[in-house]
Amino acid sequence: MTKQEVKQEIKASPERIFAFVISERMNEVWGEWITGKWDTADPVGLGSTGHFETRGTLASFGKLAGTVTEFEPNKKMTMHNIGAKGKLDALESIILEPTANGTMTTYAIDYKVPYSVFGKLIDKVKISKEMSAMHVKTIENLKRIIET
């Protein structure tokens, strides 16, 4: 498994950030990499499912099917995403911790790519860098949108 984590303090309450994160407005945050749609009717919660289409540098992962596996309102949500092409198995979490000025927002991912030893080397030198860049930009976009 490859683990990555990005943190950013956002000047907003955990409630405001969480409401945004569980909405389809997240498509505004993911921008060039992913678009998604919840399959489950509101409200989103434990067991909710969604489908996501990867684009740009992540397009090789294809369509992802996700299920919410952890759900603590205004604190944490974890999704287990599986790629339809079998190229990605990921646990993605948003963790929210109140601070004096807003909320420390953490985006964490544990993922694996089912490749040979050579493929895992490619993950270390290419895929993990692309994923890291996407996560940094995602949390920056979330901060920009929420604080505007």
* CATH number of the domain enclosing 82: 3.30.530.20
Using CA atoms of 121, 123, 124, 129 in order, give the dihedral in degrees to the nearest 10: 150
User: What per-residue confidence (pLDDT) applies to 44?
Assistant: 93
Distance of CA 51 to the CA centre of its chain: 13
- Residue 29's domain spans which residues? 2-147
**Alpha-carbon span 79 to 32, nearest angstrom:** 20
Indicate if the alpha-carbon torsion angle 140, 141, 142, 146 is positive or negative.
positive
Sign of the C-alpha dihedral, residues 34, 23, 90, 98?
positive
> Residue 130: its pLDDT value, please?
76
Please determine, for residue 102, whether its predicted confidence score (pLDDT) is greater than 60: yes
Per the structure, the count of domains in the chain is 1
Q: Dump pLDDT digits (tens) for 113-147.
A: 666 665 566 556 566 777 788 888 999 999 999 99
pLDDT tens digits, residue range 17-31? 999 999 989 989 987
Distance, in Å, from the CA atom of 80 to the CA atom of 69, rounded to the nearest integer, reads 7
User: Does the pLDDT value for residue 56 go beyond 70?
Assistant: yes
Cα–Cα distance measured from residue 135 to residue 77, given in angstroms and rounded to the nearest whole number: 16
Residue 4: pLDDT band by 50, 70, 90 thresholds? Answer: confident
Q: In this structure, what token pair is assigned to residue 24? A: 């389809």
pTM here is 0.87
